[in-house]
Each structure stands twice: as structure tokens, then as C-alpha cells.
Structure 1
């Protein structure tokens, strides 16, 4: 029995909504990553059969492939990326035995069974007692994890702290995996945006539920005065997204000189004030598109763009789709 590539529409919608809250798609782009992720897969599973992959999709923050595996043993060495393996086929009498650092686990693969491999794992041995049917492999670089850590003041390194575990049943990861598999099987115009979103959602789910706390390094604490100033500035930005906002205005809110404010803000938020304001305006525009019937020209005006055309170009550059396409996608 095989698993159908029919993801829950509610899960897909939740991924998009989560993505709006967390970050912009542009923040996830890493040039050259697909080839590095592809090299990981080919090196680790040289004898398996590759059915389909995302190698030609242009996805930057996730690499996916569907494989079948023969019975036998294999050994892999250090891989720099997080790997998520999802069984899409039952194995009635089969068994997967994984060994790492003296740890040994034995799992019977059924549809939806999940195995996790953290980034930086030094040595892993895998034994398959019988051939494995369709198996989905997802590779995540550490960048989506670092983005979450920077955004929410989380300890690092998240990607290297993912638990080495097998035999998991996580419906959210399973549904995201099915959605990625469906996109590989039939490419859509919004596939790249979905892939970047799925990468961030997977990183968030792993960071929330499957980290080894002994491997985390606490993030440096902010000074209390910096927290107060930053909160005032962020609140001011959110309250004035539809108005003109200058760096000088934000410096006044923080009670700092423009120079010192810009340095403080960039150090704490990971991007300059102007880029942060632009990102928040884009996120606000996405929410307006998803939850209102405002004309696109009005959304562009409220987002402080000089014209609807300028808004559409900026929106497409960041998300990969036009405002109109995005509105149809989320409704």
C-alpha cells in the first residue's frame, strides 16, 4: 500500500499563514545551495534508485527527492544539512536499523514513519533488512534554522541540535512532505514560494519539538534598555505602516542619535531599519490581500508604493508571484 500525494489543504494554508508571520521569502535565499544538498543525497545513497527530485525546480532552501532502496547496508559520513526521511510505502516484514555514536535504533517502516538526521552528524550506519518502497528525503540547510533563531532570540545552533531519532509519527511533517512530493510530481507557478515556505515551517516544527537541549548554546541577552527601546520602535513601525517612516523618526522614538540607533537596530534585528520596514509593509500587504477585498491599487497605496505597477514588481521579486496570484492562492 502506498501513500497518496494528496496533502490536507488546511495544512498547506497554515504553512502560508505561518510564513507571513515569520519572515519574507527573500530572507531564505542562499545561492548555490541546491547543488550542495544534491551532493549530500548522491553521496549517501549511491545504490538506491532515484525516482524524482527537485534538482531542476530552482528551490533554494530545500532539496527533495523520492527514492527506493535495496536491502543491504550503507555507511555515511558528515553531512552539513538536516535530513528528514518519510516512508511513503508499507514494508510488511522490513526493518530499518540505524547506528550512530553507540546509539542503535530499530524501526519497522510504515506509511508516515519519519527519521531525523541533524546537520553535522559525523557517522551513520544504516541496515535495511528488505527493500524499501517509495521514500521521501528532504534536506534542509542550516539557514532556515538560523533565521528562526535570529528572529526569536533562540539558542544556536538549531540545525545541529536536531535529535537523531527514528520511528516518529508527526502528522504536520508528513503532510508537508506530501505537499512537497506533490509539487515535485506536478510543478505549479507558485512552487518556489511554497518550497521556501515549507522549509521554514519544517525548521520551525523541528525546532519546537525535536531539539536536543544539551547541544544548544544560550543566545546572548540583550540589555534591558535595548529591549525597551526596540519594543517602542517595533510598536511604532507597526502602528505607522501606512504612513511615512524615516530612520530619523525611529531614532527619535528610541531616544538615540540616528547613527547609534541604526547600529543598535541592525545588531538586534539582523537587518537595517529601512529593510525591516519594507518587510513589515510587504507582510501587511499580504494580509490585506488575504483578508480583504481592497483593490490592488489601494493595497499598493497603503503599502507606500508610488504605483500599483511598482508594488506588483516588488511583490513578485520577493514572493515569486504577483499580488493577484497570491490572493487567489490563499483564498
Structure 2
């Protein structure tokens, strides 16, 4: 189902099959695409013998069963499925948007890649978007550029950050998700992570590149956008649900962070 949608992005490069069939010294990109899946989407358990899959979640969430675990990947998270590892996926009752990449790589070299990790700095997303801008490829040189971007994305995903060391991003994401309609202060986040205000703010910004309260605003907007495109709720109600004061603040914040007003986002999905 998925590969039929992404293969069209590379189909005009006739030498692709030669590049992908050779022994893999470095990661080699096979395909990449932006995908939008319906709320009822479900993929039963399956595995891929010859390639990895990398997903960057853009909207909604992906519930994954893999290696006896149940993982929930939310906006800003990255998933990597190794070859030969069975996994099942579900869009969990809401529309799921993601960047989808398949690639070949030496499993021994990349055995330590985490299956699930937040893209704290947003670099994996940026690199994959760059790949999409370069597709389709027409030469071995262009393919080499894509493979280099892929390797950078895998390195970023596989490198522990300060956020992973202290677990700040998952903690903050859970805290905000559970209180998205409530006022949230910097002191509240620091207390939830058992750090002083100063040390929390410094460590969080070093790990993510943004101040904690900017991260909170982005989470409010991400939730608001999901409600805008997946419901017919009035803007005033959505504003209250995501902890923004009123419809005016909702419109202003959504436009500032997405570049589009709420009405345009809602109309685009109709």
C-alpha cells in the first residue's frame, strides 16, 4: 500500500535499480514521500526483508506494535523499522500525516538505531524534507547527495541528545498533553521534571533549540490544527480546548507558527 505511493517519486531514474542492488556500504535511499492516511488506517503485522523504513510524524499519532511493545509516536517523533522485524501500525482513530522513507543499509552498522525517539531538534524532519525537494533524481551524483542526506538523518536520529539523557522532551510532552487546556508556567514544567527553573530551561533549550514555553505554544498549535482539520468545532471552542484565551489569540498564534490562518487550514482538508 505504502510503496505504491512513494515509488513514483523515483521512477524516472533508470539506474536506480543498479544503485539499490549493489552491496550496501553506506545507507542508500530507495524512496521518500509525504503521506496522509485516514483515521481508520491500519496495517497488520508485516516485515520487510531487504530495507528499513523511517517515519517522521507530522500530524496525528501512530500506534505501533513491535518487539512485544506498544509504542505511540506523536507529532515530532521518528520511527525506524529494521528489516526483518515484524510490526503493526494504526492511525489511532485520527488522520495521520507523516514523512515516509525506505532505505537499504548494513544492519550490523546500524544495529543501535532506536525504533522510537523524538526529533528534539527537528533536524531529521528538515533533512527528509530536503530529500523530498530533490526528488526525483536523474543521475548517480544526485543519488549520492540523497544518500548523504539520509546518512545525516540517521546519524541525528541515532545520536543521544541532552533531552534523551535527562528525558526532558518526553516528560514535557506528556505533561503538556495532559493539561493542554490549562495555563502552564515555566515553574510547572521545571517542577514536573524535578529540576530548578534555571537548570530546566537551560537543559531543555540546549536539547531542543527552543525555549520551553515556545515548545508549549507549538504543542497547543499542533493540537489546534488537528482539531481544525478533523472536526467542525467552532474556533472559540478549539481555542478553549488547547489553552488559548480566545478565537483571536488562536488565529494569531496559528498564523504565526504555520503561516496560514485557521480558516485556510480547515478549508484545505475539505
TM-score, with length taken from structure 1? 0.38
TM-score, with length taken from structure 2? 0.46
